[in-house]
Amino acid sequence: MAAARAEDAPPVTGGEPERGGAPLTVGILVPCRNEAAVIGRKLANLARTIWPGTDATSHRIVVVDDHSDDGTREQAEELCERLFAGSPNVEARVVANEVRPGKPGAVRQGLAALAGVDLIVLTDADVVLGEDALYELERAFRADPRLAMACGAPRHVVAVPADGTRPRGANAESTASPYDRITACVRGVESRFGALFSVHGQLLAWRAALGLRPSFGIAADDLDLMLQVRSRGCAPSAVRLVPEATFYEAKPAPGPLADEQALRRARAYVQIARAERHPHGGGASRLQWLAYRRLPLAAPWLLPLAIVGGLLSLALVAPGPAGSLGALVALGFVLPPGRRLCRLLALIRRAGRLERETPVAERWEMARR
């Protein structure tokens, strides 16, 4: 594969296909709502990315502006012209969301502009792709006709360079939490069976022939699209993670911004978990859906029962209030896993309460850094 491109040089291609026939044409969809702080970095990153196929393979990038008022559209238009005008195989343009305000409408607008490509790749404006992420995604689809949807693998880092290159040095240090590492293991197991549930919407690809469209009124568009694939019950239906297709994301430091993002994601999860659509398949698929749909929502109510059970068990070994009090303190105030678990369950409970009062809006706008 070729090296990353120099500034303002045509995007790099990865050479002839290794197997599985002709290379697939790729359509990149970048929905934006007030992303002026990061859209330049994103487009510079895409210009440095290794694209599959040869110069004869026609790829497209569509940036969808969802009524931004911070200059996102103007900046994106200038960069699309400057970075991709000389490319023999990548066309980049900006379109305005005229469907309906919000991310589902923006994605639908982008899908209409990408008609004719083989592979749709939805990616967030604030993440940076590994240099061969697109190459690896396309190769995975070409190698496995059963693959319907795939996502990339995240690398949570301290900071992402402004020029769109891969983080290096101190910026590349991992900021993944224990929760991130645990869920990564779960995703790895699910992916082996083609039954990945919690796909990464920051880098999500699917076959355009499936005709997927995000549902209005659903904030978790990535899970919504995944459930559309798995509820059809027809080939191709496999959903997997491609570990070689990496993307880099700077997680916000603990504070109001991180709390806001966590609450929105929790509310979006509660919203999709209460939807009627469910994966098609046998007992294992239904059991997986039941676990994802019921256990997180029931966890806040199961916690008091677990605490009571733990206190009663400890009381048998160490009778008296000292044993009970010690168990409670160890669970919630001393041991880091206990504190994190309590915070997570409190977040889920709050998200469920807020969703019952007012569903989270499908419009999105997050502070960037």
Q: What is the pLDDT of residue 247?
A: 98
Q: What is the pLDDT of residue 126?
A: 95
Q: What is the pLDDT of residue 2?
A: 36
Each residue's pLDDT, cut to its tens digit, for the chain (369 residues) gives: 333 344 555 566 655 444 557 899 999 999 999 999 999 999 999 999 999 987 778 999 999 999 999 999 999 999 999 999 989 899 999 999 988 888 999 999 999 999 999 999 999 999 999 999 999 999 999 999 999 999 999 999 999 999 999 999 999 999 998 888 989 999 999 999 999 999 999 999 999 999 999 999 888 999 999 999 988 777 788 999 999 999 999 988 788 888 888 888 888 888 888 776 666 666 778 788 888 887 777 766 666 666 666 555 555 555 555 555 555 555 555 556 666 767 777 888 888 888 888 888 776 666 565
Beta-strand pair 12-13/147-157:
unpaired
Distance CA 113, CA 95 (A): 8
Q: The whole model's pTM is what?
A: 0.84
- Write down the CATH superfamily of domain 12-251: Spore Coat Polysaccharide Biosynthesis Protein SpsA; Chain A (3.90.550.10)
Q: What is the pLDDT of residue 232?
A: 79
Distance CA 304, CA 307 (A): 5
Q: What is the pLDDT of residue 158?
A: 94
Closest by CA to 272, choosing from 344, 221, 202, 203, is 221
Residue 230, H or E segment = helix 221-230
Ranges in the chain annotated CATH 3.90.550.10 = 12-251
Helix, strand and coil content of the chain, in percent to the nearest 5, comes to 45, 15, 40
Task: Confirm if 351 and 263 have CB atoms less than 8 A apart.
Answer: yes
Q: What is the pLDDT of residue 5?
A: 43
Half-sphere exposure of 239 (CA within 13 A, CB side): 27
Q: What is the pLDDT of residue 286?
A: 78
Closest by CA to 258, choosing from 179, 333, 327, is 179
